[in-house]
Amino acid sequence: MHWTLMQKLGLLALLPVAWLVAVGLHELGHALAGRLQGFCLHWLTIGPLMWRRQPTGRLRFEWNRNLNTAGGLALSVPPDDVHLRERFRVFAAGGPLASLAWGALGVGLYTLLPAATQGTVPAIALALSGGISLLLFVVTIIPFHTGGFASDGMRLLNLSRRGPKQELEVSMLTASIRSMVGTRPRELNRSALEAAAALHVEHPLKCHLSHYLYLHYLDAGDPVAAGQQLAYYRQQLSQVPAALQASGWLESAFFSAAYEHDATAARAYQAQAQLNAFTPADQPPRVEAALARLAGDAERARTQAQAALRELPRNLDQGSVHLYREWLQDTVRWAEQAAVARVASV
């Protein structure tokens, strides 16, 4: 088959569209399955496209600038805790099933087209989109953990089991989803988190329960209990995927400087953090702001706090953002008051 230059360029232009369609239908499958279970869609990301629910209750379009979610993300929140295992299982299955359905439809329609039509750019784009969907189905239905995230197949496997692993999986899903859509840490169910953390079971994500308990206590005004949870989380950092370890070290540095007033420990933790694409962009300047405030450097504390504030909207954990924003704003006020006091003393 001879392809003209325009046909080749047309096919190249349609490749990303075919990928977006395949990824979009996968994530919409999750969203629809969640809707059938009474879940409320809060966040939908498809490549560079993103819709997030606003305080008004409406979904608003934004451009997605976070590469960590460019592969697609659907966040739907259950309104209650009734039969969560079964409902989360349906939600997890929605994406792979949508990919399988569209893959079969796209490839099936292509095979039914007349031979003369199958060589056209739109027909090949249809086949590509269907093929990508079938590939997504295969990849997501296989049970595995990677980069700190579980595949849909792994979620289904864990949620299909009965016992402590299933309880831990439900607790982690509930806490992480609610935190990501903006629930303050102090409003998370502490009893459920503590019960899940006490379970005698090995799980790749179990140590993250200590992180949520740390945030809960810190937001509730109990830095002593928060420090204990953070210390335990730090001890388990070797079990956390390497890409996520930097965040744990930086959080330890921030807590040591801002709440324990220990610059030496903060610098030591900061030195162990190897920044990467998974490190929240607000963390490094937040640590620097805490160190500068501890050292009495008002100007540096202000500039670093303002830099962190600008990055907070990109943080995937919008629940913890409430806590950090308040501390950063307080640091800016402290720096401004220090500047006024310095001028007045001259």
pLDDT one-digit tens code per residue, 146-167: 756 779 998 898 888 888 888 8
Beta-sheet strands, E only, within 78-220 = 145-146, 149-150
Q: What is the pLDDT of residue 2?
A: 66
Q: What is the mean pLDDT of residues 118-123?
A: 83
Structural domain contains residue 259: yes
73-106 pLDDT tens trace? 998 988 888 888 899 999 999 999 999 999 999 9
Cα–Cα distance, 258 to 292 (Å, whole number): 10
Residue type at position 106: G
Q: Give the model's pLDDT for residue 200.
A: 86
Residue 240 pLDDT: 80
- Helices 318-345 and 208-219: angle between axes, nearest 10 degrees: 50
Q: Same structural domain for residues 141 and 203?
A: no
Does residue 170 lie in a domain region?
Answer: no
Same domain, 120 and 232: no
Q: Within this chain, do residues 189 and 337 fall inside the same structural domain, yes or no?
A: yes
Do 253 and 329 have their domain in common? yes
Bridge partner residues of 77 (DSSP): 40
Give 139 or 67, the one with higher predicted confidence.
Answer: 139
Q: Residues 207, 256: one domain?
A: yes
Q: Considering the domain boundaries, does residue 333 fall inside one?
A: yes
Query: Is residue 146 located within the same domain as residue 191?
Result: no
**Which burial class, exposed, middle or buried, applies to 41 when counting CB atoms under 10 A from its CB (0-12, 13-18, 19+)?**
buried
Residues of the chain with pLDDT > 70, as a percent, come to: 97
Q: What is the DSSP letter of 147?
A: T
For the chain, give the percent of residues with pLDDT over 90: 63
**Token code pair at residue 124:** 């090949």
DSSP letter, residue 337: H
In a domain, 106, yes or no: yes
- Mean pLDDT value across the chain: 91
> Which residues have CB under 8 Å from 58's CB, separation 6+?
none
Q: Is there a single domain that holds both residue 193 and residue 341?
A: yes
For residues 307 and 301, give the distance between their C-alpha atoms in angstroms, rounded to a whole number.
10
- 223 shares its domain with 138: no
Please indicate, yes or no, whether residues 140 and 209 belong to a single structural domain of this protein: no
Residues whose CB falls within 8 Å of the CB of residue 106, separated by 6 or more in sequence, listed in order: 126, 127, 129, 130, 131, 133
Q: Residue 59: which H helix or E strand, with range?
A: strand 59-63
Q: What is the rounded distance in angstroms from the CA atom of residue 304 to the CA atom of residue 293?
A: 10
Beta-strand relationship, 40-46 and 145-146: unpaired
Instruction: Give which of 12, 3, 268 is closest to 128, Cα–Cα.
Output: 12
Residues 6+ apart with CB under 8 A from 231: none
Q: Is 49 helix (H, G, I), strand (E, B) or coil?
A: strand
Judge whether residue 42 has pLDDT over 70: yes
Pick from 236, 311, 253: nearest CA to 280: 311
User: Of the given ranges (30-39, 109-118, 208-217, 296-305), which has the lowest mean pLDDT?
Assistant: 109-118
Residues 334 and 192 occupy one common structural domain: yes
Q: Are 285 and 180 in contact (CB under 8 A)?
A: no
Is residue 8 a part of any domain in this protein?
A: no
**Domain count within the chain:** 2
Does residue 162 belong to any structural domain of this protein? no
Query: Which residue range(s) make up the domain with 227?
Result: 182-345
The mean pLDDT of 241-252, rounded to a whole number, is: 90
* Three-class SS state of 158: helix
1 lies in some domain: no
Q: Which two tokens stand for residue 205?
A: 């994500």
CB atoms under 10 Å from CB of 176, counted, come to 19
* 9 inside domain: no
Q: State whether 194 and 147 are in the same domain.
A: no
Size of the chain in residues: 346
Express each pLDDT in 274-297 by its tens digit: 998 889 999 999 999 999 999 999
Tokens representing 339 are 């500047």
> For the chain, first and last CA: distance in Å?
83
Is residue 159 a contact partner of residue 170, using CB atoms and an 8 Å limit? Answer: yes
Task: Identify whether residues 331 and 233 lie together within a single domain.
Answer: yes
